[in-house]
Amino acid sequence: MEFTFVGSGDAFGSGGRFNTCFLVRGTGCRFLIDCGTTSLVALKRAEIDLNAIDGVVLTHLHGDHFGGLPFLLLDAQLISKRVRPFFIWGPEGFEARLAVLREALFPGSSAAALKFTIETATHAPAARRAGAGFAVTPYPAAHSAGAPCFALRIECDGKVVTYSGDTAWTESLIDAARDADLFVCECSSFARDLPGHLSWRTLAARLPSIGAKRVVLTHMNPDMLAQTPTVGLETASDGLTLVV
């Protein structure tokens, strides 16, 4: 399995990075985790074949994590000429929020006839959902976005990858990332905990309780980016691809 950080930035593009968007490539699947507002640009810069992407799994409904979907869907309709189904799995209420967002950005787009179907499913806490070649189990995250927020435990090609989503520390991260082959964790700040987010100080004290085999930090603000040489862990960057 390959895991690519198409975008590794926070909501403010700190460090000139694209909003959160990751690509998982397994033997029988290819899908996105989150699709922030800048993701279509990031995907095209990385020369990723959009029609080869099966769908997207969302952690929560902030713009830097799902705001790119209207652009991606419009491109699929008008530019990429997609014909095969596209799935979207996300928190309860995401379909209505997405429809409103599509209409706000491109009036009429949510009602336009498409040559491909959009298959949707709603996350339920700790309920494993299987797709073609992969499975996802969502765990509640300590974050607020007007709808439930989740960390995601992903199984693919016999490996486990967990993504924290945006979250303050919560004990559910232990179950979500326990013994994972790769734990991609938000680390928004270095020493001071921001509401709904993790600092390096808080995360470092709790990583031993998780036991993930490999940890990569993402979603970093300027303060955290400046401190990356001091933390002793891998940090994400746009375009970085890991083999898990």
Query: What confidence score (pLDDT) does residue 173 get?
Result: 98
Query: What confidence score (pLDDT) does residue 73 get?
Result: 98
Query: What confidence score (pLDDT) does residue 103 get?
Result: 97
Average pLDDT over residues 223-233: 96
pLDDT in tens, 54-75: 999 999 999 999 999 999 999 9
Pairing of strands 159-163, 182-186: parallel
Average pLDDT over residues 221-225: 98
Q: Topology of domain 2-243, per CATH?
A: Metallo-beta-lactamase; Chain A (3.60.15)
pLDDT in tens, 79-114: 999 999 999 999 999 999 999 999 999 999 999 999
Q: At a CB cut-off of 8 Å and minimum separation 6, what does 115 contact? A: 77, 81, 82, 83
Query: What confidence score (pLDDT) does residue 170 get?
Result: 98
Domain ranges (residues) in the chain: 2-243
Burial of 221 (0-12, 13-18, 19+ CB in 10 A): buried
Query: What confidence score (pLDDT) does residue 53 get?
Result: 98
Query: What confidence score (pLDDT) does residue 58 get?
Result: 98
Query: What confidence score (pLDDT) does residue 226 get?
Result: 97
pTM score of the predicted model = 0.97
